[in-house]
Structure 1
């Protein structure tokens, strides 16, 4: 059986002398949404950063499309087909919405107008507020700009770290719907999310991390139906 399109396998890493991840494995296929959930301090965002190359692996590996990218820098991983949206500081607040998108196209400056037009159909805010500084937008609007900027590199994998943090409940549903459209276009989507129940409701695959290790893995629906997962992590 071939390896998943993106897989961080048996990852051990952390900060300073302390390991946060203790051999966890995360994977996602093209056209699939995979969600990482778990209690605070479980290592969810650490796993995302390790897969994107923001942390050095102490053990384990990261493969993308069958290629070992474990030693690539984050910019090189972007060039290889990865897009990453961090939880905070994910837009240039003093730049306009349009300028933020142009910054996202630095690796592939060809056909910028076509890409912006395509993304504006997914996120109309890009056209409606194109000349407005991104720092003046609401949390949900900024998140849309951040996702669109990552999409300007035409990634094969889109990684979102806590995309609903600071986003109003109404815009959370809208943002998740847009993520589903992105995955339906054949892009692999990997999400770290505190809103576990809602995220698992549309995820093809879910990973529950506890203390840096895989505790439960299954389809989103399987995890929602699992009484142990519900009791321990979803409030019953």
Structure 2
């Protein structure tokens, strides 16, 4: 089998002297959705940040298309086709929807109009509110802006840290539907999600982390069917 488009293998590292990740491996295939779940404090967001270069590794490596990018800065990883949407502070609230999307294309030197229309097609409500300050939008709409801005970079890898945090179940389902649509265009999705059951339902691959280690790995369907995973992490 060919190597995944993105893989963080054997990652060990943390903040200061304490390691949070312990020999953790996370990967995503081209055009597929990989989801990281686990209890609070399991190291889910830390694993995401390590893959994106926001956390120095003491051991392990990150490879993109088979090339070692462990030493690259997050900015350089963006230039290589990775986009990261943090859980909080992921929009410019005083700027309009359209201005936020334009900021997402800051590295591009080509015409961005086509990509912007693709984002508006994916999130029609943003087209309606394109001239409205983003800070006036609902929580779910702000998340759409954050994802849309990341898509403006035309990434190969879209990384989402808790994209449904604080939104209603209806909005969560809509966001997950849009994430599936993005993956169908060939963009790989790596996502940390607290709503484990719903996330695993859309996942091609799921990673259950416990104390910074891989506890369970499998397809979303396999993990949902695993009695131990269901009992320990999904409420039975």
Same fold, TM exceeding 0.5?
yes
Q: Which residue of 1 aligns with 2:61?
A: 61
Q: Which residue of 2 aligns with 1:171?
A: 171
Per-residue CA deviation, residues 157-199 of structure 1 (Å, 9 max, x unaligned), is 0000000001111111000000000001111100000000000
**Superposed counterparts of 1:87-166, under 5 Å:** 87-166=87-166
Per-residue CA deviation, residues 87-144 of structure 1 (Å, 9 max, x unaligned), is 0000011111000001000111412111111111001122111111111111100000
Q: Which residue of 1 aligns with 2:208?
A: 208
Q: Which residue of 2 aligns with 1:76?
A: 76
The alpha-carbon deviation at position 3 of structure 1 amounts to 1.6
- Which SS does the other structure have where 2:57 is aligned? coil
- Which SS does the other structure have where 1:216 is aligned? strand
Distance (whole Å) between structure 1 residues aligned to residue 167 and residue 220 of structure 2: 22
- Which SS does the other structure have where 1:200 is aligned? helix
Distance (whole Å) between structure 2 residues aligned to residue 47 and residue 211 of structure 1: 11
Q: Which stretch has the larger CA shift, 84-93 or 1-10?
A: 1-10
Q: Which residue of 1 aligns with 2:2?
A: 2
- Which SS does the other structure have where 1:58 is aligned? strand
Distance (whole Å) between structure 1 residues aligned to residue 32 and residue 131 of structure 2: 34
User: TM-score, normalization: structure 2?
Assistant: 0.99
Q: Which residue of 1 aligns with 2:85?
A: 85
Change beyond 3 A, Cα 1:221–1:183 = same
- Which SS does the other structure have where 1:102 is aligned? helix
Distance (whole Å) between structure 2 residues aligned to residue 146 and residue 199 of structure 1: 19
The alpha-carbon deviation at position 16 of structure 1 amounts to 1.1
The alpha-carbon deviation at position 2 of structure 1 amounts to 2.5
Q: Which residue of 2 aligns with 1:12?
A: 12
Distance (whole Å) between structure 2 residues aligned to residue 10 and residue 57 of structure 1: 10
Distance (whole Å) between structure 1 residues aligned to residue 38 and residue 98 of structure 2: 36
User: TM-score, normalization: structure 1?
Assistant: 0.99
2:216 matches 1:224 = no
Distance (whole Å) between structure 2 residues aligned to residue 190 and residue 145 of structure 1: 18
Alignment RMSD, CA only? Answer: 0.7
How many residue pairs were aligned? 236
Q: Which residue of 2 aligns with 1:22?
A: 22
Runs of 5+ unmatched residues, structure 1 = none
